[in-house]
Amino acid sequence: MSANRTELILAHADKRIPRYTSYPTAPHFGPGVTQDTYRTWLSGIRPGTPVSLYVHVPFCRTMCWYCGCNTRATLRNEPLERYLDTLEMELNLLARALPSVLPLKHLHWGGGSPSLVRAARFRGIMQRIRRSFAFKRDAEVALEVDPRHLCDELVDAMAETGVNRVSLGVQTFDEKVQRAINRVQPFEVVADAFARLRAGGIEGVNADLLYGLPLQTVDGVIETTDRLLELAPERISVFGYAHVPHMKPHQRMIREEDLPDAAGRLAQADAIAERLVSGGYRQIGLDHFARADDPMARALESGRLRRNFQGYTTDEAPVLLGVGASAIGSLPEGYVQNEAATENWRREIVDGRFAIARGVALDDDDRMRREIIERIMCDLTVDLAALAAAHGRPAPEADLGALEADGIVRRDGDRIVVAEAFRPLSRVVAAAFDARLNLGPARHAVAV
């Protein structure tokens, strides 16, 4: 790593910038979008429009101290079962509100730990979803799994109901780091989960890694990455830990003096990327890696890579429907988000109303900027003139002067290109086109 590159990246590393899994981003959602708004948007979906579905399960057995998700820990099954009862009510409510049975391209179970759902209950909910949507033959059906809580019965249920992709939360194999984040998970547990899934016929096994964790070192992330390569996941996501204890109080259990500084975070991210690329993976956008023959790598090559609330995706459906507490939906008209508190969410659903807490309606400028930002985040380049013309609007102005002077971006006619060496700053470049950005202290994660 050149000293100049390091200095330039570190000059931006502590900026608070959105991850741009949407535009406008979630802090700009407000109460002006209601369940009535959502019903109107749903009724306008044309028959035959492909859709995707996100199912949120906000329960874990124990709380990982690094977690930034909407979830809570419980050792009892009753809260989860009660939640799933309400989830099925919401699925029924959604099916009745849609104008027709729509083709489903992607289904993603997230959390929390959806792998806590009992096999029989999982089968029942999947059957209900299949009655409400017409699954495409090539539909991707994905589930986030905690390797510590994976049983053969659930693997069988997943395989029987069409699950073809699983994301395993690995994070790190360093034992001292695992103890510091309250997630002790030996390599053997993860290896066993890989073996169980593949033996059950689920070949699309992904893994998530984290850098920037307490007590984490460059040598430690290299060792973790090398061990993970032994398991040969199809895709690997590499996220930087976002320390926001003012938003996630359980993160106060992490000692701030144990966290690496910006230079340490960058060195860890670079080391992981170098190891994965050397191991035959293609780097996808900011933080994903995929085998060269994986559909995500092919989507990148053909300019069809997308980005949504699950990160980078091959999902091109124009409608994403979210069910469960805090779930976010995306429609051509805008975004909606459910109540985050499970009891508030449940109360609305039981009363026969969608539990929409907030959202944002898009205007033409938002749609254009959303696509510009998405292309930068996915492709590291965007043709501003062509994209603006497609939206029938003038290309937006962006203050890129300092980034150009430093060689972070360059202009090729109307095209903006992020230099490969400065891939970690793609969010910073995207932010130049964010008309709503507020660089306040705690609204977003650090840039690197």
- Residue ranges of the binding site for S-adenosyl-L-methionine: 54, 66-68, 111, 144, 171, 183, 208, 242, 328
The dihedral sign for the CA sequence 295, 366, 394, 377: negative
Which residues make up each annotated binding site for [4Fe-4S] cluster? 60, 64, 67
Say if residue 135 is exposed, middle or buried (CB neighbours under 10 Å; 0-12, 13-18, 19+). Answer: middle
Residue with tokens 């990148």: 300
All residues at 6 or more sequence positions from 416 whose CB lies less than 8 Å from its CB, including other chains = 376, 381, 382, 384, 398, 400, 409, 410, 429
Question: Distance from CA of residue 113 to its chain's centroid?
Answer: 14
Amino acid 412 reads D
Short-list 376, 237, 380, 242, CA closest to 311: 237
Query: What is the enclosing helix (H) or strand (E) of 124?
Result: helix 119-132
DSSP string, 240-288: E----TTT-GGGGGS-GGGS--HHHHHHHHHHHHHHHHHTTEEEETTTE
Q: Is 75 helix (H, G, I), strand (E, B) or coil?
A: coil
Q: Is 429 helix (H, G, I), strand (E, B) or coil?
A: helix
The secondary structure of 318-345, three-state, reads CEEEEECCCCEEEECCEEEEECCCHHHH
Which residues make up each annotated binding site? 54, 60, 64, 66-68, 111, 144, 171, 183, 208, 242, 328
Name the region of 320 (left: φ>0; alpha: ψ -120 to 50; beta: rest): beta
